[in-house]
Amino acid sequence: MQRYIDKFLRYLEIEKNYSAHTVLNYRLDLEEFGNFLRYRKVDNTFLTTEISQGKSLESANEIGGRNFLKTLSADKPVRQWFGFPYSQSHKDVSLEAEKVDYLTLRRYLAKLKEKNVKARTIARKVSCLKTFFKFLLREGYIKDNPALLVSGPKVDKYLPGFLSEEDAVRLIEAPSTAEPLGLRDRAIFEMLYSTGMRVSELVSLNKDSLDHISGVVKVEGKGKKERLAPVGERALASVRRYLGERKKDSKALFLNDRGGRITARGVRFVLNKYINVVSQKQHISPHTFRHSFATHLLNHGADLRSVQELLGHANLSTTQVYTHLTTDRLKAVYDKAHPRA
């Protein structure tokens, strides 16, 4: 099983050009599925309900075959799945991918549900498995795709949180421009709100990524796809002032207080310093600027297709989550459009 996982991850990294973060998430999901499959190597007829109902290990050994207890005691991931402590060395007894069938996948999803895993997480794992087995089928490693008819749980539509225009302005203007770090923080907030870029895209910017004359920035998005995003004059002015006061010479656009490239966690730390000062919202993250950017554009009449391009979304359906509008905006549209409003 592991050799197939490694081949699949190389395919995602090299051919699909996925980011290291995305490849890591695929690896974690597939290795968790591999851990679940380990006990299937012992006896394909073994049912997990014997343990989940509180029966003894000896009883499980009788049902799973004489080697089941030995395998369970020696395999950390399997013991973690069934809730037993681990004390011995790891042993790989994973089931080969060719023997995975539809019922195996259904049992895995049932186990996730039993462990109270969120529906959105289960849906992501189902998507991962579908992509994985589709790859194995296309490459000829398996004859049938066991995940073809597997469907994930219904996921509630998620409406991202966003700042009001007033809160966004207060947050952007909160850093003091009398000191270099305040200038940097102001420039970071201006760039996030002006471009709607992801924080991972922001921290990867170099000084030459920004064209001050044409007012655009070259952004490397997911899958290393590049796009040009317009930058507002206020954001450009903030960046110019920050760079003019910065002592450290570096190709990175934004630096931390030690002179290295700032990280996504560093931006989150910077944001936390100002949240309580300017807003009653307690769950603000750097990504909130992106949500606010899209929401404010739509509220002011921007079309969905343009917002999709600005955000760098591959599919329009991803952008549609931002079509929520404020109550005031909906009321204004209603009053203007309804003949008896």
Count of other CB atoms within 10 angstroms of residue 185: 24
- Written as one string, the DSSP assignment of 66-124 is TTHHHHHHH-HHHHHHHT----S-----PPPGGG--HHHHHHHHHHHHHTT--HHHHHH
Tell me, yes or no, if 124 is annotated catalytic.
no
CB 195 within 8 A of CB 230: yes
Active site residue 322: yes
Instruction: Name the catalytic one among 79, 130, 296, 313.
Output: 313
Tokens 């739509």 locate to 298
Candidate list 124, 281, 287, 329, residue with the active-site label: 287
313 has catalytic annotation: yes
3-state secondary structure 271-304: HHHHHHHHCCCCCCCHHHHHHHHHHHHHHCCCCH
Q: Is 17 left (phi over 0), alpha (psi -120 to 50) or beta?
A: left
Within 10 Å of residue 145's Cβ, how many Cβ atoms? 17
The DSSP code for 255 is B
222 catalytic per annotation: yes
The one catalytic residue among 40, 186, 290, 291: 290
Quote the CA–CA distance of 39 and 77 in Å, as a whole number.
10
Contacts of residue 185, Cβ cutoff 8 Å, sequence gap at least 6: 175, 270, 273, 274
Q: Tokens 């974690």 — which residue?
A: 28
Find the angle CA(307)-CA(334)-CA(281) to the nearest 5 degrees: 55
Please identify which residue in the block is written with the tokens 């709607």: 196
- Catalytic, out of 38, 198, 291, 296: 198
Nearest to 286 by CA among 182, 168, 124: 168
CA-CA distance, 199 to 21, in Å (whole number)? Answer: 14
What amino acid positions are annotated as catalytic residues?
198, 222, 287, 290, 313, 322
